[in-house]
Amino acid sequence: MKLRSVFFLIVVSLVLPACSLIGSPNNITRVVPAEGATQKAHDGRYENLFPKRAQYPLTCTEQCYQPHALVACESERESGHGEQCRFVGENKQPGLDTGFEVHWLGHATFLITTPDQQQFFIDPVSDGFDQPIDFAFRITGGHKRAQPEWLPEEQREKIDAVLYSHLHYDHFSKRDIRFLGNAPTYFVHLDTAPYLPKLGLSVYEMDWFTKVQMKETTVHAVPAHHFNSRVWIPFIYNDDEQALWGGWILEHEGNTLFYAGDTGYSDHFKSIQRHYGDIDVCLIPIASYHHEKHGGWYRYVHTTPEDALVAAEELNCKVMIPWGYGNASWQMGDHSSHAPLIRLLNMHERLESQVPLYLLNEGDAVAL
């Protein structure tokens, strides 16, 4: 990259955070367990609940991406992996009556309607990365994203709460927070609130295994096996693990919906099941695990399709909705747009998995 471009990015990176300091202070409520908050390690970073490398119960080693009849693709990469695909099968109804409606907008973004008719927006990112990172990737040929389908303005105005799993740019967008404004209540994990724009927001900053009541729905913060960072100055500085990451459970009259957040496989799934019991609806990622250059690091923090199936079994999910693949995903650490879904379908059949799947295309919604 030319020195002039680097200098421009550094200037923009310094100016944009300063701009976020202008505005109305946010109202932040910190929620920690009675025994005290999760402690950072000696180097000041948060750690995963089970930080050691997992012993993965299953790993697909051959014929993982055999073309599947339920996924129709318009084109293929040179590797033979499909692009511009759609799930064309017919889902079996799981026979649930939880009252939750799940609308998948693509990648990691969901709009959840609860049985008491509240709207919970999870990890909303309507376009590319926040600037200047998106600009940096575009001029260097890095990750790009097709424009996803998005909520019309009148629907966005009805959102009651916004939940963020962590600070990575494909899950956390300051631009979208500015669009959504201070009408919704915001839910984040510990030490994430300082990253929110100062717009007079109402923010709950939560530790793992804590809860907040929103009318008849309870919001539970739960662990994920991942990491956190927010790059302020590209190529120079990022704030590794200074803020906590995690997933969420929405509970209404005993019915539960679990959003895993970005996560690798570890025993934290068993801990969640022990704490909250069997989960009705599980939204679990299946992408971004494949990268040959990093010696398994991608898989350490992202579940493979078979890892996701094992996690769903450990959670005793009554239905699993996978996410992370798709035509409007960034395809970070994936063979192609729908390679993770094809691998999931192949492994589900090969393992004779009893986990009920409900598969969505971007923009689809289902009541469960």
pLDDT for residue 109 is more than 70: yes
**Distance, CA of 128 to CA of 125 (rounded, Å):** 7
Tens of pLDDT, residues 129-158 = 655 665 555 666 566 677 788 999 999 999
Say how far apart CA 264 and CA 227 lie, in whole Å. 10
Determine the average pLDDT of the residues in 212-232.
91
Position 5 pLDDT exceeds 50: no
What would the mean pLDDT of 339-356 be, rounded to a whole number? 96
Confidence at residue 23, expressed as pLDDT on a 0 to 100 scale: 78
SS (H, E, C) 196-254: CCCECCEEEEECCCEEEEECCEEEEEECCCCCCCCEEECCCEECCCCCCCCEEEEEECC
Residues 240 and 133: their CA atoms lie apart, in Å, by 16
Give 203's strand partners: 28, 186
Distance CA 106, CA 213 (A): 27
Q: Which of 140-149, 288-297, 325-334 bottoms out in mean pLDDT, i.e. has the lowest?
A: 140-149
DSSP class of residue 193?
A: G
pLDDT band at 18 (very low <50, low <70, confident <90, very high): very low
- Residue 317 or residue 236, greater confidence: 317
* Sequence-ordered alpha helix ranges (H) in the chain: 3-19, 133-140, 153-156, 174-180, 268-276, 297-301, 305-315, 339-350
Q: How far apart are CA 236 and CA 255, in angstroms?
A: 45
The three-state secondary structure class of 113 is strand
Beta-strand relationship, 247-252 and 27-31? unpaired
Is it the case that residue 237 has pLDDT exceeding 50?
A: no
Cross-strand pairs, 73: 85
Residues 83 and 61: their CA atoms lie apart, in Å, by 22
Paired residues of 366 in beta bridges? 102
| pTM of the complete model | 0.90
**Is 60 exceeded by the pLDDT of residue 78?**
no
Distance CA 359, CA 341 (A): 9
User: Is pLDDT at 29 greater than 80 in this prediction?
Assistant: yes
Report the range of poorest mean pLDDT among 2-16, 106-120, 203-217: 2-16
Count of beta carbons in the 10 Å neighbourhood of residue 228? 25
Domains in the chain (CATH in brackets) are 3-367 (3.60.15.10)
Task: Give the model's pLDDT for residue 149.
Answer: 85
Residue range 168-174: average pLDDT? 91
In 3D space, the residue among 128, 229, 125, 127 whose CA is nearest the CA of residue 177 turns out to be: 125
Look at residue 311 in the predicted model and tell me its pLDDT: 98
- Range 122-130 average pLDDT: 84
User: Which has the closest alpha carbon to 225: 244, 205, 251?
Assistant: 244
Name which of 135, 136, 111, 138 is nearest 125 in CA terms.
111
Percent share of the chain, pLDDT over 90: 69
